Amino acid sequence: MGISVNGVDIDDQQIEQELPHHAQAANPLKQSVHELILRTLLLQEAASLGIEGADEDERIEALLAREVRVPPADDAACALHYRNHPQRYTHGEMVEARHILFQVTPTVPLEMLRETADGILAALREDPERFDELARTYSNCPSGAVGGSLGQLGRGQCVPEFEKLLFRLRPGELPERPLETRFGLHIVQVVRRIEGRLLPFEAVRREIADYLTTAAWQRGLHQYLQILVGRADIAGITLDGADSPLVQ
């Protein structure tokens, strides 16, 4: 059975034309179909409300400007966000760190890597001075040649899960367990921390207001798309909410 939205068909040619726009998605075909369904719903809604425009994008923009409205973030909300997320507005914060990487490969089972990493971490707890030696021996990262040293790192330079651990550890502290990332398992240690400077609230208030207003608009858009999906007659596919680049 083909895909249709309120009786309007989405054909293979439309999907083929949409696919190149989602080549980097985890599932390009699914993303392309979802995008086409949501665009069709939005254009149908614009037509039913008599919203006009020079092209499809302009009609969708006019529809969303009318239907998705959020108040700008006020000073109280901005101040609360500033107090709760000081790290986002701290400049110059850095750590000097080192790690031992146990890289996942097709020939090495993950469970074997975990056992090895756990054993090395236990050895480091017994004798932290062996970090350099063990990094040179076991690390699958080029940094192993220099004792695992990663140099000085600021926020935004590492994958999120690695960064979160880096800026949580105290100098010399070892993690409770090896950290798992897309690259493998890591034993991480912060050698030195350079404290940053928290920018004054007045200097970042506009940035925070823009961020909060944009986040609120995205939530509003997501809810609006869910409403359209919920009341639409969509055949040939199950659409779970508003999973679309339109909400990015």
| Residue range 196-242, pLDDT digits in tens | 999 999 999 999 999 999 999 999 999 999 999 999 999 988 765 44
pLDDT at 87: 86
Residue 241 region by backbone torsions, left for phi larger than 0, else alpha for psi between -120 and 50, else beta: left
Domains of the chain by range and CATH?
Answer: 3-73+204-247 (no CATH), 93-195 (3.10.50.40)
Which residue's structure tokens are 């050895």? 123
> Is 245 a residue whose pLDDT tops 60?
no
Q: How many CB atoms lie within 10 A of CB 119?
A: 11
DSSP 229: H
- Residue 108 is predicted with a pLDDT of 79
Per the prediction, the chain carries an average pLDDT of: 91
Q: In the sheet where 184-194 sits, what is the strand order?
A: 149-154, 94-103, 184-194, 179-181
Beta-carbon neighbour count of residue 242 at 10 Å? 19
Tokens of residue 15, six digits: 């999907």
How far apart, in Å, are the Cα atoms of 127 and each of 114, 122, 147? 20, 9, 15
**Residue 226 is inside which H or E element, if any?**
helix 201-231
The answer on pLDDT for 42 being more than 90 is: yes
Cα gap 188→159, rounded to integer Å: 14
Percent of the chain with pLDDT over 70: 96
Q: Are the beta carbons of 75 and 172 closer than 8 angstroms?
A: no
Give Cβ neighbours of residue 70 (< 8 Å, ≥ 6 apart): 213, 216, 217, 220
